[in-house]
Amino acid sequence: MTVRVQAEPFDAAAEIAAFLAGRRSSGGIASFIGVCRDEHGGTPVSAMTLEHYPGMTEAEIGRIEDEARRRWPLHDVLVVHRCGRLLPGEPIVLVLTASAHRAAALDACAFLIDWLKTRAPFWKLEETAEGERWVDARDSDEAAARRWQHAAA
Amino acid sequence: MLKVRYFAWLRQRVGRAEEEVDPPREIATVRALAAWLGERHPRFAEALAEPGVVRFAVNRAYVAEDAVIRPGDEVAFFPPVTGG
């Protein structure tokens, strides 16, 4: 069980290798990598800054992980999330889950990122040619999080 | 005394990231505190007037508007989150 919020870039391949190392009973490992895009709604984005709430952000991701572990038989979870300024193409977030079989790993991984997007205190400030703008919360993200309301393993 | 924190565009509207406040004793809930702070920060009051825009946390966990606040608490106000 690991949650990290960090300003430094992370190496997704190295994180996955470390997560896999020595693991013998987990038949399914699922991963999600969220990446900073170079456009949003048709407007070019040159960079973004992720603000967070130190202490609460980590705690809230931990609570989301606790909920995932109540729903699925997980062997392990890793969540790494960037804060600070990012350029297009840089990974923002990595979610890894390990379970005996793929269904639990895949579902838990999707659940973790869906709930993280609507609950973990992060705010994106985009840099565009017209200046800076705060990203609005999306209804589609709320809908994605709601689909897990009644779902369980 | 309470520690109040603001994040993202709410922080910009209020003009500060945090402040120590000492509200009167009848200010007992997050909702009452928000209204009291709104009298000091008109642009915060504007954001509060928009339904569903401001989220609340006490001691780094989400709470409902009617959550009770106690001296020493850290109360945070912020817009809907956009991470991931």
Give the integer Cα–Cα distance in Å for B84 and A1.
19
Alpha helix positions (H), A21-137: 56-71, 102-119
Q: Residue B57 is encoded by which pair of tokens?
A: 């946390």
Contact A59 B61 (CB under 8 A): yes
For residue B65, is it within any domain? yes
How many structural domains are present in chain B?
1
The answer to whether A69 and A79 have CB atoms below 8 angstroms apart is no
Contact flag A122-B82 (C-beta cutoff 8 Å):
yes
Q: So what's the ipTM on this one? A: 0.95
- How many angstroms separate the Cα of A137 from the Cα of each of A4, A86, A119, A123, B13? 23, 19, 11, 9, 18
Q: How far is A114 from chain B (nearest CA, A)?
A: 8
Cross-chain CB nearest to B81 (options A93, A113, A120): A120
Chain B residues whose CB is inside 8 A of the A50 CB are 83
Instruction: Determine the pLDDT at residue A152.
Output: 52
Buried b (16+ CB within 10 A) or exposed e, B19-36: eeeebeeebebbbbbbee
How high is the pLDDT of residue B67?
Answer: 97
Residue B30 lies in a domain: yes
**Does residue B34 lie within any of the structural domains?**
yes
pLDDT for res B51 = 87
Q: What is the CATH number of domain A2-146?
A: 3.90.1170.40
Q: What is the per-residue pLDDT for A1?
A: 63
CATH of the domain at B56: 3.10.20.30
Please name the residue of chain A whose CA is at the shortest distance from the CA of residue B82. Answer: A123
Q: Residue A56 and residue B61: Cβ atoms within 8 Å?
A: yes
Domain of B61, in residue numbers: 2-78
d(CA A53, CA A57): 5
**How much is the pLDDT for B52?**
84
The pLDDT value given to residue A139: 87
Question: Mutate which of B55, B73, B78, B82 to disrupt the A interface (most A C-beta within 10 Å)?
Answer: B82
Contacts of residue A40, defined as CB under 8 A and 6 or more positions apart, other chains included, come to A126, A135
Among B8, B61, B84, beta carbon nearest to A51: B8
Decide: residue A80, CB within 10 A, 0-12 exposed, 13-18 middle, 19+ buried: buried
User: pLDDT tens digits, residue range B16-72?
Assistant: 999 999 999 999 999 999 999 999 999 999 999 998 899 999 999 999 999 999 999
Residues of chain A positioned with their CB less than 8 A from the CB of B83: 50, 52, 57, 81, 92-93, 116-117, 120-124
pLDDT at res. A153: 45
Query: Are B81 and A59 in contact (CB < 8 Å)?
Result: no
Res A151: pLDDT = 58
Residue ranges in chain A whose pLDDT is less than 50: 153
Tens-place pLDDT, residues A28-44 = 999 999 999 999 999 99
